[in-house]
Amino acid sequence: MPLTWSVSRDQILHDCERRYYFQYLANAKINSRDSILREIAFLKKLKNIPGWKGDAFHSIVAGYFRRVRQGQFPTVTELVTELQDNMMNEWAFSSNKLFRTNPRAIDQDGGLALFEHEYEENPEFEVVPIIDSVAIWLYRFMAWVDDVDLVGSLARASRIWLEEPVYGPNAPGFKFSGAQVLVKVDLALQSPDGNFDIFDWKTGTPFSSNWGQFDSAEFQVNVYQLWPHLAFGHSLDSIRAHLLYVVADPVRQQNFGIDENVREQTLSFIRRSIDRVKQFAGLLGQEKLCLEDCDFALSMGKCRWCKFKRLCQRMTSDE
Ligand code: SF4
Protein backbone atom coordinates (compact mmCIF):
# COMPACT_ATOMS: atom_id res chain seq x y z
CA MET A 1 0.00 0.00 0.00
CA PRO A 2 1.61 3.35 -1.02
CA LEU A 3 1.92 6.15 1.51
CA THR A 4 -1.27 8.20 1.47
CA TRP A 5 -2.04 11.69 2.68
CA SER A 6 -5.25 13.71 3.01
CA VAL A 7 -6.38 16.94 4.61
CA SER A 8 -8.31 15.06 7.31
CA ARG A 9 -5.23 12.95 8.09
CA ASP A 10 -3.20 16.11 8.50
CA GLN A 11 -5.88 17.57 10.77
CA ILE A 12 -5.83 14.53 13.06
CA LEU A 13 -2.03 14.59 13.22
CA HIS A 14 -2.17 18.25 14.16
CA ASP A 15 -4.84 17.69 16.83
CA CYS A 16 -3.31 14.67 18.55
CA GLU A 17 -0.42 12.35 17.66
CA ARG A 18 -1.81 9.50 19.78
CA ARG A 19 -5.12 9.69 17.95
CA TYR A 20 -3.19 9.60 14.67
CA TYR A 21 -1.40 6.48 15.89
CA PHE A 22 -4.66 4.70 16.72
CA GLN A 23 -6.32 5.77 13.46
CA TYR A 24 -3.53 5.19 10.94
CA LEU A 25 -0.47 3.45 12.37
CA ALA A 26 -1.81 0.67 14.56
CA ASN A 27 -2.74 -1.61 11.61
CA ALA A 28 -5.79 -2.76 13.54
CA LYS A 29 -8.40 -5.13 12.14
CA ILE A 30 -11.70 -6.26 13.59
CA ASN A 31 -10.40 -9.87 13.41
CA SER A 32 -6.89 -9.12 14.69
CA ARG A 33 -5.57 -11.76 17.09
CA ASP A 34 -4.50 -9.08 19.54
CA SER A 35 -7.42 -7.86 21.67
CA ILE A 36 -6.12 -4.26 21.77
CA LEU A 37 -5.91 -4.14 17.98
CA ARG A 38 -9.47 -5.51 17.79
CA GLU A 39 -10.58 -2.78 20.18
CA ILE A 40 -8.83 -0.08 18.11
CA ALA A 41 -10.49 -1.42 14.95
CA PHE A 42 -13.89 -1.23 16.64
CA LEU A 43 -13.34 2.25 18.08
CA LYS A 44 -12.28 3.51 14.63
CA LYS A 45 -15.78 2.72 13.41
CA LEU A 46 -17.53 4.95 15.96
CA LYS A 47 -19.23 8.10 14.67
CA ASN A 48 -20.55 10.96 16.73
CA ILE A 49 -24.00 12.36 16.02
CA PRO A 50 -22.82 15.33 13.89
CA GLY A 51 -20.70 12.92 11.81
CA TRP A 52 -23.65 10.54 11.43
CA LYS A 53 -25.93 13.37 10.30
CA GLY A 54 -23.35 14.47 7.75
CA ASP A 55 -22.89 10.93 6.40
CA ALA A 56 -26.67 10.38 6.16
CA PHE A 57 -27.03 13.63 4.21
CA HIS A 58 -24.12 12.85 1.84
CA SER A 59 -25.40 9.34 1.22
CA ILE A 60 -28.92 10.42 0.24
CA VAL A 61 -27.59 13.22 -2.00
CA ALA A 62 -25.12 10.90 -3.77
CA GLY A 63 -27.93 8.37 -4.26
CA TYR A 64 -30.14 11.11 -5.73
CA PHE A 65 -27.54 12.14 -8.31
CA ARG A 66 -26.83 8.50 -9.24
CA ARG A 67 -30.53 8.03 -9.98
CA VAL A 68 -30.67 11.28 -11.93
CA ARG A 69 -27.87 9.95 -14.13
CA GLN A 70 -30.03 6.88 -14.80
CA GLY A 71 -32.97 9.08 -15.81
CA GLN A 72 -34.90 8.79 -12.53
CA PHE A 73 -36.03 11.90 -10.69
CA PRO A 74 -37.21 11.14 -7.13
CA THR A 75 -39.12 13.97 -5.45
CA VAL A 76 -37.77 15.67 -2.36
CA THR A 77 -40.60 14.09 -0.35
CA GLU A 78 -39.47 10.63 -1.49
CA LEU A 79 -35.89 11.46 -0.59
CA VAL A 80 -36.87 12.66 2.88
CA THR A 81 -38.87 9.46 3.47
CA GLU A 82 -35.85 7.38 2.43
CA LEU A 83 -33.59 9.45 4.67
CA GLN A 84 -35.93 8.96 7.64
CA ASP A 85 -36.15 5.19 7.07
CA ASN A 86 -32.37 4.84 6.75
CA MET A 87 -31.66 6.89 9.86
CA MET A 88 -34.33 5.15 11.96
CA ASN A 89 -32.87 1.73 11.04
CA GLU A 90 -29.36 2.87 11.87
CA TRP A 91 -30.50 4.42 15.12
CA ALA A 92 -32.22 1.18 16.17
CA PHE A 93 -29.01 -0.78 15.48
CA SER A 94 -26.89 1.66 17.46
CA SER A 95 -29.23 2.40 20.38
CA ASN A 96 -29.69 -1.36 20.95
CA LYS A 97 -25.88 -1.66 20.91
CA LEU A 98 -26.02 -4.41 18.30
CA PHE A 99 -22.55 -3.24 17.22
CA ARG A 100 -21.10 -4.95 20.28
CA THR A 101 -22.19 -8.43 19.19
CA ASN A 102 -21.93 -7.81 15.44
CA PRO A 103 -19.17 -5.27 14.76
CA ARG A 104 -18.78 -6.39 11.12
CA ALA A 105 -22.33 -5.11 10.41
CA ILE A 106 -21.38 -1.54 11.35
CA ASP A 107 -20.18 -0.79 7.83
CA GLN A 108 -23.17 -2.43 6.13
CA ASP A 109 -26.60 -1.01 5.30
CA GLY A 110 -28.44 -0.24 8.53
CA GLY A 111 -25.29 -0.62 10.64
CA LEU A 112 -24.11 2.17 12.92
CA ALA A 113 -22.10 2.55 16.12
CA LEU A 114 -22.64 5.95 17.68
CA PHE A 115 -20.00 7.30 20.03
CA GLU A 116 -22.81 8.58 22.26
CA HIS A 117 -24.27 5.06 22.63
CA GLU A 118 -20.94 3.29 23.14
CA TYR A 119 -19.78 5.83 25.74
CA GLU A 120 -23.32 6.43 27.10
CA GLU A 121 -23.01 10.18 26.64
CA ASN A 122 -26.11 12.40 26.58
CA PRO A 123 -28.54 9.49 27.08
CA GLU A 124 -31.49 11.90 26.98
CA PHE A 125 -31.16 12.90 23.33
CA GLU A 126 -33.99 11.96 20.96
CA VAL A 127 -33.72 10.74 17.43
CA VAL A 128 -36.67 12.50 15.78
CA PRO A 129 -35.29 16.07 16.09
CA ILE A 130 -31.93 14.79 14.85
CA ILE A 131 -33.49 13.29 11.72
CA ASP A 132 -35.72 16.35 11.22
CA SER A 133 -32.67 18.62 11.16
CA VAL A 134 -31.10 16.54 8.36
CA ALA A 135 -34.40 16.60 6.46
CA ILE A 136 -34.35 20.42 6.65
CA TRP A 137 -30.83 20.42 5.13
CA LEU A 138 -32.15 18.20 2.36
CA TYR A 139 -35.09 20.52 1.57
CA ARG A 140 -32.71 23.50 1.41
CA PHE A 141 -30.21 21.60 -0.70
CA MET A 142 -32.79 20.45 -3.24
CA ALA A 143 -34.10 24.03 -3.59
CA TRP A 144 -30.52 25.12 -4.32
CA VAL A 145 -30.09 22.30 -6.89
CA ASP A 146 -33.16 23.69 -8.70
CA ASP A 147 -31.95 27.30 -8.44
CA VAL A 148 -28.57 26.62 -10.02
CA ASP A 149 -29.84 23.92 -12.44
CA LEU A 150 -27.28 21.41 -11.19
CA VAL A 151 -29.18 18.58 -12.91
CA GLY A 152 -28.67 20.44 -16.22
CA SER A 153 -24.94 20.79 -15.44
CA LEU A 154 -24.74 17.05 -14.85
CA ALA A 155 -26.43 16.36 -18.17
CA ARG A 156 -24.00 18.64 -20.01
CA ALA A 157 -20.83 17.38 -18.28
CA SER A 158 -18.32 15.38 -20.29
CA ARG A 159 -17.07 13.58 -17.17
CA ILE A 160 -18.49 13.22 -13.66
CA TRP A 161 -17.04 12.14 -10.31
CA LEU A 162 -19.69 11.43 -7.68
CA GLU A 163 -18.53 10.43 -4.19
CA GLU A 164 -15.97 8.07 -5.72
CA PRO A 165 -14.20 5.58 -3.46
CA VAL A 166 -10.85 6.95 -2.29
CA TYR A 167 -9.01 3.97 -3.80
CA GLY A 168 -9.43 2.57 -7.30
CA PRO A 169 -9.09 3.63 -10.93
CA ASN A 170 -11.54 6.53 -10.71
CA ALA A 171 -10.38 7.76 -7.29
CA PRO A 172 -9.72 11.52 -7.24
CA GLY A 173 -6.18 12.33 -6.14
CA PHE A 174 -2.63 12.89 -7.29
CA LYS A 175 0.91 11.76 -6.56
CA PHE A 176 3.12 14.26 -4.78
CA SER A 177 6.31 14.11 -2.72
CA GLY A 178 6.30 10.31 -2.57
CA ALA A 179 2.69 10.02 -1.44
CA GLN A 180 -0.75 9.54 -2.96
CA VAL A 181 -2.80 12.60 -2.03
CA LEU A 182 -6.43 11.52 -1.48
CA VAL A 183 -9.13 13.97 -2.54
CA LYS A 184 -12.62 13.19 -1.28
CA VAL A 185 -14.84 15.38 -3.43
CA ASP A 186 -18.62 15.08 -3.25
CA LEU A 187 -19.14 15.96 -6.91
CA ALA A 188 -16.86 17.11 -9.73
CA LEU A 189 -17.88 18.03 -13.26
CA GLN A 190 -15.68 18.43 -16.27
CA SER A 191 -17.47 20.36 -18.99
CA PRO A 192 -16.93 20.00 -22.75
CA ASP A 193 -15.39 23.51 -22.88
CA GLY A 194 -12.60 22.41 -20.48
CA ASN A 195 -13.87 23.96 -17.22
CA PHE A 196 -13.64 21.89 -14.05
CA ASP A 197 -16.05 22.42 -11.13
CA ILE A 198 -15.62 20.76 -7.74
CA PHE A 199 -18.42 20.70 -5.15
CA ASP A 200 -18.28 19.98 -1.45
CA TRP A 201 -21.45 19.80 0.69
CA LYS A 202 -20.74 21.12 4.19
CA THR A 203 -22.95 19.98 7.07
CA GLY A 204 -20.99 21.73 9.80
CA THR A 205 -19.04 24.87 10.36
CA PRO A 206 -15.40 24.79 9.24
CA PHE A 207 -13.01 23.19 11.73
CA SER A 208 -10.36 25.41 13.25
CA SER A 209 -7.39 26.32 11.13
CA ASN A 210 -3.82 25.19 11.53
CA TRP A 211 -2.76 26.81 8.29
CA GLY A 212 -2.22 30.44 9.28
CA GLN A 213 -3.45 32.53 6.40
CA PHE A 214 -5.89 29.88 5.09
CA ASP A 215 -8.86 28.66 7.03
CA SER A 216 -9.12 24.89 6.97
CA ALA A 217 -12.03 24.77 4.51
CA GLU A 218 -10.09 27.02 2.16
CA PHE A 219 -7.01 24.84 2.49
CA GLN A 220 -9.15 21.80 1.71
CA VAL A 221 -10.53 23.31 -1.51
CA ASN A 222 -7.03 24.41 -2.53
CA VAL A 223 -5.90 20.79 -2.27
CA TYR A 224 -9.00 19.66 -4.19
CA GLN A 225 -8.23 22.13 -6.97
CA LEU A 226 -4.71 20.77 -7.35
CA TRP A 227 -6.20 17.41 -8.33
CA PRO A 228 -7.42 18.29 -11.88
CA HIS A 229 -4.34 20.48 -12.32
CA LEU A 230 -1.75 17.85 -11.38
CA ALA A 231 -3.58 14.69 -12.43
CA PHE A 232 -5.08 15.88 -15.74
CA GLY A 233 -3.09 18.99 -16.62
CA HIS A 234 -6.01 21.43 -16.33
CA SER A 235 -4.89 25.06 -16.32
CA LEU A 236 -5.42 26.78 -12.97
CA ASP A 237 -7.85 29.31 -14.43
CA SER A 238 -10.17 26.53 -15.65
CA ILE A 239 -10.69 25.15 -12.12
CA ARG A 240 -13.30 26.33 -9.59
CA ALA A 241 -14.40 24.93 -6.27
CA HIS A 242 -17.73 25.47 -4.54
CA LEU A 243 -18.47 24.92 -0.86
CA LEU A 244 -22.14 24.68 0.02
CA TYR A 245 -23.10 25.12 3.68
CA VAL A 246 -26.52 23.51 4.12
CA VAL A 247 -26.73 24.43 7.81
CA ALA A 248 -27.25 28.06 6.73
CA ASP A 249 -30.74 29.24 5.81
CA PRO A 250 -30.75 29.84 2.89
CA VAL A 251 -27.75 27.67 1.98
CA ARG A 252 -24.48 29.59 1.71
CA GLN A 253 -22.30 29.01 -1.31
CA GLN A 254 -18.63 29.99 -1.34
CA ASN A 255 -16.73 29.91 -4.62
CA PHE A 256 -12.97 29.60 -4.98
CA GLY A 257 -10.41 29.77 -7.77
CA ILE A 258 -6.71 29.02 -7.58
CA ASP A 259 -3.69 30.97 -8.83
CA GLU A 260 0.06 30.34 -8.94
CA ASN A 261 0.70 31.79 -5.48
CA VAL A 262 -1.93 29.63 -3.82
CA ARG A 263 -0.68 26.61 -5.79
CA GLU A 264 2.87 27.08 -4.49
CA GLN A 265 1.82 27.80 -0.91
CA THR A 266 -0.49 24.80 -0.84
CA LEU A 267 2.13 22.45 -2.28
CA SER A 268 4.65 23.69 0.24
CA PHE A 269 2.23 22.98 3.12
CA ILE A 270 1.42 19.54 1.75
CA ARG A 271 5.11 18.69 1.35
CA ARG A 272 5.81 19.59 4.99
CA SER A 273 2.84 17.62 6.22
CA ILE A 274 3.80 14.56 4.12
CA ASP A 275 7.32 14.72 5.58
CA ARG A 276 5.78 14.53 9.04
CA VAL A 277 3.62 11.57 7.98
CA LYS A 278 6.75 9.87 6.62
CA GLN A 279 8.50 10.45 9.93
CA PHE A 280 5.65 8.74 11.80
CA ALA A 281 5.62 5.86 9.31
CA GLY A 282 9.39 5.34 9.70
CA LEU A 283 10.21 6.33 6.13
CA LEU A 284 12.90 8.89 6.91
CA GLY A 285 15.61 6.47 8.04
CA GLN A 286 14.35 5.89 11.57
CA GLU A 287 11.91 3.32 13.02
CA LYS A 288 8.15 3.64 12.70
CA LEU A 289 6.90 5.51 15.77
CA CYS A 290 5.05 3.61 18.49
CA LEU A 291 2.34 4.90 20.83
CA GLU A 292 4.83 5.91 23.53
CA ASP A 293 6.58 8.20 21.01
CA CYS A 294 3.36 10.10 20.31
CA ASP A 295 2.28 13.24 22.14
CA PHE A 296 -1.08 13.79 23.80
CA ALA A 297 -3.59 16.27 22.41
CA LEU A 298 -2.59 19.89 22.85
CA SER A 299 -5.92 20.69 24.44
CA MET A 300 -8.01 18.47 26.71
CA GLY A 301 -11.07 19.64 24.74
CA LYS A 302 -9.94 17.33 21.92
CA CYS A 303 -10.23 14.32 24.26
CA ARG A 304 -13.87 14.98 25.15
CA TRP A 305 -15.17 13.64 21.82
CA CYS A 306 -12.26 11.36 20.97
CA LYS A 307 -13.43 7.85 20.11
CA PHE A 308 -10.20 6.34 21.42
CA LYS A 309 -10.35 7.99 24.84
CA ARG A 310 -11.19 4.83 26.80
CA LEU A 311 -8.25 2.95 25.36
CA CYS A 312 -5.96 5.97 25.49
CA GLN A 313 -6.61 6.49 29.19
CA ARG A 314 -6.16 2.80 29.95
CA MET A 315 -2.90 2.61 28.05
CA THR A 316 -1.66 5.80 29.68
CA SER A 317 -2.09 4.27 33.11
CA ASP A 318 -0.19 1.17 31.88
CA GLU A 319 2.74 3.21 30.50
S1 SF4 B 1 -8.06 10.77 24.35
FE2 SF4 B 1 -7.02 12.71 23.94
S3 SF4 B 1 -4.83 12.25 24.07
FE4 SF4 B 1 -5.92 10.29 23.82
S5 SF4 B 1 -5.96 9.85 21.64
FE6 SF4 B 1 -7.83 10.93 22.12
S7 SF4 B 1 -7.42 13.10 21.76
FE8 SF4 B 1 -5.45 12.05 21.91
Distance 249 CA to ligand 1 centre (A): 35
Q: Is 12 in the pocket of ligand 1 (CB under 6 A)?
A: no
CB 254 within 8 A of CB 198: no
Q: Is 296 in the pocket of ligand 1 (CB under 6 A)?
A: yes
For the chain, give every domain's residue range: 45-156, 158-285
Residue 246, phi then psi, degrees to nearest 5: -85, -10
Q: Is 307 in the pocket of ligand 1 (CB under 6 A)?
A: no
Per-residue confidence of the chain (319 residues) as pLDDT tens digits?
Answer: 689 999 999 999 999 999 999 999 998 999 999 999 999 999 999 999 999 999 999 999 999 999 999 999 999 999 999 999 999 999 999 999 999 999 999 989 999 999 999 999 876 679 999 999 999 999 999 999 999 999 999 999 999 999 998 888 789 999 999 999 999 999 999 999 999 999 999 998 644 444 444 577 889 999 999 999 999 999 999 999 999 999 999 999 999 999 999 999 999 999 999 999 999 999 888 888 899 999 999 888 899 999 999 999 888 766 5
Distance 308 CA to ligand 1 centre (A): 6
pLDDT at residue 217, rounded to an integer: 84
Alpha-carbon distances of 29 from 23, 37, 84, rounded to whole Å: 11, 6, 31
Distance 300 CA to ligand 1 centre (A): 8
Q: Is 18 in the pocket of ligand 1 (CB under 6 A)?
A: yes
Q: Is 303 in the pocket of ligand 1 (CB under 6 A)?
A: yes
Q: Which residues contact 3 (CB under 8 A, 6 or more apart)?
A: 178, 179, 180, 274, 277, 278, 281, 283
CA distance 295 to 309: 14
pLDDT at residue 168, rounded to an integer: 81
